C-alpha cells in the first residue's frame, strides 16, 4: 500500500457518483454516513452548502480520508493530487465539521434512493451518532482539520506554495484561493489552536508563553546589555504569532509608510496601503452604552466594516473611570486625547482597539479570520506540523528562480513544486534562515556550513530591529481597583519625551549618525556599507523629529494593589542580525538583536521611563498612586536608569527588517514585487503594532500576485520566488 501525505483541506465536496455495488475499482463494501453540523442526516443534493465527508469501509476498518476526489469512485486511479491506492486497503475517515461512523457490508446506497434498506440503516446509525456527537464532538469540529496523504514518490504540484501559515501567509493564501482555478498549498510548522484556551482568552496575554506552541527562540548573549540571553516569543501554530500576541490593533503613521517609498519601493506609501488596512478589517462598532462605559472612540470612515479580521473592543473591556483620569493627567503633560489612533496619526492618548471577536469574546487571529471560515475551498490545502528546510531552484534560468520547497513531515522528507510562485512568509527570524539554507546570502556564512552560493546577497539576515520593553510599578492609594481589559495607550513625540532638551538632543543625534552607521557596518562585517546605513539613518532621523510621529509607546494598567506601566522606544537605531547555525535546519538560528548597541536607544528608553513615572506623579492620577515599587525612587540619573533598563528589559517580540524591502544598492534583500512577505520585509519599525500593517501589506501583495505583473517583478532583487 502506498503511504499517503497529510492535510489536504477542502471541506465542501460533491458526492461520489456511485449508484451500483462494485462500481469503480473498489470492492462493494462502501457506505455513506454523514453527520452535518446542523442536521442529523443530510443529502448534498438537498443542502449543497453542508460540509460533508464520504466514507468507504472495508470490513469495519477505516483506513483512508477522502474529500474532493469523486473520480476515485469512478475508476480513475490517477486523479491529480491523489496517489494510486491499493483498493483492498482503502478506507475513509471524516474529521472536519462532520463526524462519520458506521459499517455497511456488501452494499452501496444509491445516490438519490431514500427507500432502500441500506439508507434506513445509514439513517439510523447517523441519527444515533449525531445525538452523541452533538454532546461530545461538535464543539471540536470547527478546529478539526482533515488529514490527507500523498505517497513519498508522488507529491502534486501547486500553483502557489506559501511557506508559513501565519499572519501574512494566511492572508495571501486566502486571497489567491479566491480564484477556484488556482491551487494553493500552505505549509505550517505548527498545528491548529482553534480551541486552545491559552490562545482564545482575550485577557490571557502570556498564557501561551513557554507552552508547546511557543517557539521561544533564544538570542545569543547580548554584549551591550550585560551579556544575558533573551527569549523571543513567536507562535508555532496555524495563525502564527497573531495567536499569542497582545491583540493590539494600532496602525502605523502616515509619514512612516510614505518613507518606504524613499527607500526605492515604488508604489508603497500611505495612500496605497490605507485601502488595504480597511479591506482586511471588520470593525465591530460597540453599542453606545459600552462605548461610553469603556471610553471608546473611533472615526468610522477610517475603518473597514466588511473584511475578514474582526477588530474593536472585547466585551470584557474594563468599565472604569481610569481612562478619564489618565486622559486629564496626560493632557496636563501635553498629550491630547486621540479619538482614533488608526487614522494614520497616533500622537496622544487613547483606548486602543484589539483583534477580538466581541460576539464570541475570543481572540481574532489570522486563522480565525482568513482560514477557518474558508477551509471548505477545494483549492487551498494546509499542511500542518511540517517544517520547510529549503527552497529548490529551476535549472537553466539566467536569474535564479525558486521552483519549490523541501519539507519534512512525520519523519519523511518531501519535495513539492510550485507552478507559479513560492511565497516565503515564515517570519522575520526564519525567512532569512531559509534563504541562507537555500544558497541565498553572504558567501562567507554559507561556506562555513558547506552550502553552495546560489545568490551572493550579504544583507540577508542583517538589519534586524527589535524594540526594548521595560516596566515600572507602584502601589495603589485608596480602594481603586480595575478588572477586565485595559488598553490605555500613550504615544508621545520626540519633543514630548525630551521637553526643553529636545533641540540639544536632536543636534547631538544628528552629529552622531555617521559614527552610528560606521559602528553598525563594522558589527555586520560591512555586509551593508556605512554610507547606505547613514542614508537610512537620516530618513529615520527626519521621521522622529516630526512632532506628529510618536517616538515611544506607554501602556498603563491597574490591578488590585498596584499600578503598572510598560513602555518601549518605537524606532530603535540599533541593528542586529540573524543567521543559520546549522547546514540543514532553521533550528538553532543565531539571533543577535544587539539590544542597547547605540546610546540613542538607551536615551529614548530612559525618557520613556521618566515619562511613565511623571504620569503617575501628576494630578489627578497622583492621588490614586502610592509608593514606587520599580525601579524605585532612588533611580534618578541617566546612568542609574541605564543600569535598571539593561537589567530588567525584555524583547518586545517585534522583530523586523531581516529581508528588507528596498533597493539592493541600499542594502535591500527583496524588491517591491519579490515574494518574501512577512515582518522581515519592513525596512524599519512601525510606530503602531506590527499585526495591522502585516495584514494590510499581505492584502496588497495578494492583489499584486493575482495581477501577475511578471514584467515588473524583478527590479532590485537578484532572484525571484
Residues known to be catalytic? 654, 689
Reading the block at residue 663, the C-alpha cell is: 533597493
Across 352-434, the runs of DSSP E, i.e. the strands, are: 356-357, 362-363, 380-383, 387-393, 402-409, 412-424
Reading the block at residue 100, the C-alpha cell is: 462519520
* Bridge partner list, 161: 185, 422
Residue 249: name the closest of 597, 489, 481 by CA: 489
The dihedral through the CA atoms of 163, 169, 170, 173 has a sign that is negative
Residue with cell 527552497: 391
Helix (H) or strand (E) run with residue 455 in it:
strand 455-456
Calpha distance 459→527 (Å, rounded): 6
Calpha distance 33→98 (Å, rounded): 10
- Name every residue whose Cβ is closer than 8 Å to that of residue 568 and which is 6 or more positions away in sequence: 467, 468, 469, 470, 552, 553, 605, 608, 652
Calpha distance 230→245 (Å, rounded): 17
- Name every residue whose Cβ is closer than 8 Å to that of residue 360 and which is 6 or more positions away in sequence: none
* Bridge partner list, 235: 214
Helix (H) or strand (E) run with residue 161 in it:
strand 158-163
Reading the block at residue 677, the C-alpha cell is: 512577505
179 and 345 Cβ atoms separated by less than 8 Å: no
Calpha distance 200→202 (Å, rounded): 6
Calpha distance 637→643 (Å, rounded): 10
Calpha distance 243→233 (Å, rounded): 11
380 and 173 Cβ atoms separated by less than 8 Å: yes
Strands 412-424, 217-218: pairing kind? unpaired
Calpha distance 425→719 (Å, rounded): 16
Our measurement of the distance from residue 599's CA atom to the centroid of its chain's CA atoms, rounded to an integer in Å, reads 31
Reading the block at residue 266, the C-alpha cell is: 515604488
Calpha distance 232→81 (Å, rounded): 38
What own/partner pairs with CB < 8 Å and gap ≥ 24 does 84-89 have? 84/2, 84/151, 84/154, 85/1, 85/2, 85/4, 86/1, 86/2, 87/25, 87/26, 87/27, 88/27, 88/58, 89/1, 89/58, 89/63, 89/64
Our measurement of the distance from residue 549's CA atom to the centroid of its chain's CA atoms, rounded to an integer in Å, reads 25
Calpha distance 374→11 (Å, rounded): 9
Calpha distance 294→309 (Å, rounded): 22
Helix (H) or strand (E) run with residue 579 in it:
strand 576-579
7 and 383 Cβ atoms separated by less than 8 Å: yes
User: What burial letters (b/e) apply to 559-572, b meaning 16+ CB within 10 Å?
Assistant: eeebbbbbbbbbbb
Residue with cell 543636534: 507
Calpha distance 686→486 (Å, rounded): 22
Helix (H) or strand (E) run with residue 497 in it:
helix 494-498
What are the distances in angstroms from CA 137 to CA 26, 57, 131, 147, 247?
30, 21, 10, 17, 29
Reading the block at residue 137, the C-alpha cell is: 464532538
Amino acid at each position: 500500500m502506498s503511504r499517503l501525505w497529510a492535510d489536504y483541506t477542502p471541506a465542501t465536496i460533491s458526492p461520489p457518483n456511485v449508484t451500483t455495488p462494485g462500481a469503480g475499482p473498489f470492492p462493494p463494501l462502501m457506505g455513506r454516513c454523514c453527520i452535518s453540523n446542523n442536521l442529523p442526516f443530510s443529502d448534498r443534493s438537498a443542502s449543497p452548502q453542508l460540509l460533508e465527508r464520504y466514507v468507504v469501509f472495508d470490513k469495519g476498518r477505516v483506513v483512508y480520508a477522502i474529500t474532493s476526489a469523486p473520480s476515485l469512485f469512478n475508476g480513475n486511479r490517477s486523479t491529480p493530487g491523489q496517489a494510486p491506492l491499493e483498493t483492498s486497503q482503502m478506507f475513509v475517515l471524516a474529521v472536519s465539521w462532520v463526524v462519520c461512523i458506521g459499517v455497511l457490508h456488501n452494499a452501496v446506497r444509491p445516490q438519490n434512493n431514500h427507500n432502500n434498506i441500506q439508507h434506513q440503516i445509514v439513517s439510523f446509525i447517523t441519527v444515533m451518532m449525531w445525538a452523541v456527537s452533538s454532546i461530545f464532538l461538535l464543539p471540536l469540529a470547527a478546529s478539526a482539520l482533515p488529514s490527507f496523504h500523498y505517497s513519498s514518490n508522488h507529491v502534486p504540484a501547486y500553483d502557489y506554495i506559501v511557506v508559513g501559515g501565519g499572519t501574512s501567509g494566511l492572508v495571501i493564501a486566502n486571497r489567491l484561493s479566491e480564484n477556484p482555478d488556482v491551487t494553493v498549498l500552505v505549509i505550517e510548522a505548527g498545528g491548529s489552536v482553534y480551541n486552545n484556551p491559552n490562545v482564545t482568552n482575550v485577557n490571557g496575554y502570556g498564557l501561551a508563553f513557554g507552552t508547546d506552541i511557543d517557539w521561544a527562540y533564544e538570542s545569543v548573549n547580548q554584549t551591550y546589555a550585560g551579556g544575558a540571553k533573551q527569549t523571543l516569543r513567536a507562535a508555532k501554530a496555524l495563525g502564527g504569532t497573531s495567536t499569542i500576541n497582545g491583540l493590539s490593533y494600532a496602525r502605523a503613521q502616515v509619514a512612516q509608510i510614505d518613507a518606504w517609498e524613499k527607500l526605492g519601493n515604488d508604489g508603497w506609501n500611505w495612500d496605497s496601503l490605507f485601502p488595504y488596512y480597511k479591506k482586511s478589517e471588520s470593525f465591530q462598532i460597540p453599542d453606545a452604552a459600552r462605548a461610553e462605559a469603556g471610553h471608546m472612540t473611533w472615526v468610522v470612515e477610517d475603518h473597514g466594516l466588511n473584511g475578514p479580521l474582526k477588530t474593536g473592543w472585547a466585551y470584557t473591556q474594563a468599565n472604569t473611570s481610569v481612562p478619564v483620569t489618565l486622559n486629564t493627567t496626560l493632557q496636563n503633560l501635553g498629550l491630547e486625547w486621540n479619538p482614533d489612533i488608526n487614522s494614520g496619526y497616533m500622537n496622544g492618548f487613547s483606548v486602543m482597539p484589539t483583534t477580538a471577536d466581541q460576539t464570541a469574546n475570543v481572540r481574532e487571529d489570522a486563522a480565525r479570520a482568513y482560514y477557518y471560515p474558508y477551509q471548505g475551498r477545494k483549492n487551498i490545502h494546509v499542511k500542518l506540523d511540517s517544517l520547510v528546510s529549503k527552497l529548490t531552484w529551476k535549472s537553466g534560468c539566467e536569474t535564479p528562480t525558486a521552483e519549490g520547497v523541501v519539507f519534512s513531515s512525520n519523519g519523511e522528507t518531501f519535495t513539492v513544486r510550485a507552478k507559479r510562485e513560492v511565497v516565503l512568509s515564515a517570519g522575520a527570524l526564519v525567512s532569512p534562515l531559509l534563504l541562507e539554507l537555500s544558497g541565498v546570502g553572504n558567501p562567507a556564512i554559507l561556506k562555513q556550513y558547506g552550502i553552495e552560493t546560489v545568490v551572493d546577497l550579504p544583507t540577508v539576515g542583517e538589519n534586524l530591529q527589535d524594540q526594548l520593553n521595560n516596566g515600572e510599578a507602584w502601589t495603589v492609594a485608596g480602594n481603586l481597583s480595575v478588572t477586565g481589559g485595559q488598553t490605555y495607550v500613550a504615544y508621545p513625540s520626540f519633543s514630548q519625551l525630551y521637553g526643553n532638551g529636545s533641540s540639544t538632543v536632536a543636534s547631538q543625534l544628528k552629529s552622531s549618525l555617521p559614527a552610528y552607521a560606521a559602528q553598525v557596518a563594522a558589527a555586520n562585517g560591512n555586509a551593508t556599507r556605512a554610507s547606505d546605513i547613514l542614508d537610512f539613518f537620516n530618513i529615520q532621523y527626519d521621521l522622529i523629529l516630526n512632532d506628529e510621529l510618536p517616538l515611544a509607546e506607554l501602556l498603563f494598567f491597574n490591578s488590585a494593589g498596584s499600578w503598572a506601566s510598560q513602555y518601549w522606544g518605537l524606532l530603535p537605531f540599533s541593528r542586529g542580525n540573524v543567521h543559520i547555525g546549522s547546514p540543514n535546519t532553521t533550528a538553532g538560528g543565531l539571533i543577535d538583536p544587539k539590544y542597547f548597541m547605540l546610546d540613542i536607544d538607551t536615551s529614548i528608553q530612559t525618557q520613556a521611563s521618566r515619562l511613565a513615572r511623571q504620569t503617575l506623579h501628576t494630578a489627578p492620577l497622583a492621588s490614586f498612586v502610592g509608593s514606587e515599587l520599580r525601579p524605585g525612587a532612588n533611580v534618578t540619573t541617566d546612568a542609574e536608569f541605564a543600569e535598571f533598563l539593561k537589567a530588567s528589559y525584555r524583547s518586545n517580540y517585534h522583530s523586523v527588517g531581516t529581508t528588507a524591502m528596498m533597493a539592493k544598492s541600499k542594502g535591500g534583500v527583496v524588491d517591491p514585487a519579490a515574494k518574501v512577505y512577512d515582518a522581515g520585509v519592513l525596512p524599519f519599525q512601525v510606530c503602531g503594532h506590527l499585526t495591522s500593517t502585516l495584514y494590510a501589506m499581505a492584502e496588497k501583495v495578494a492583489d499584486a500576485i493575482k495581477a501577475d505583473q511578471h514584467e515588473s517583478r524583478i527590479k532590485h532583487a537578484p532572484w525571484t520566488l
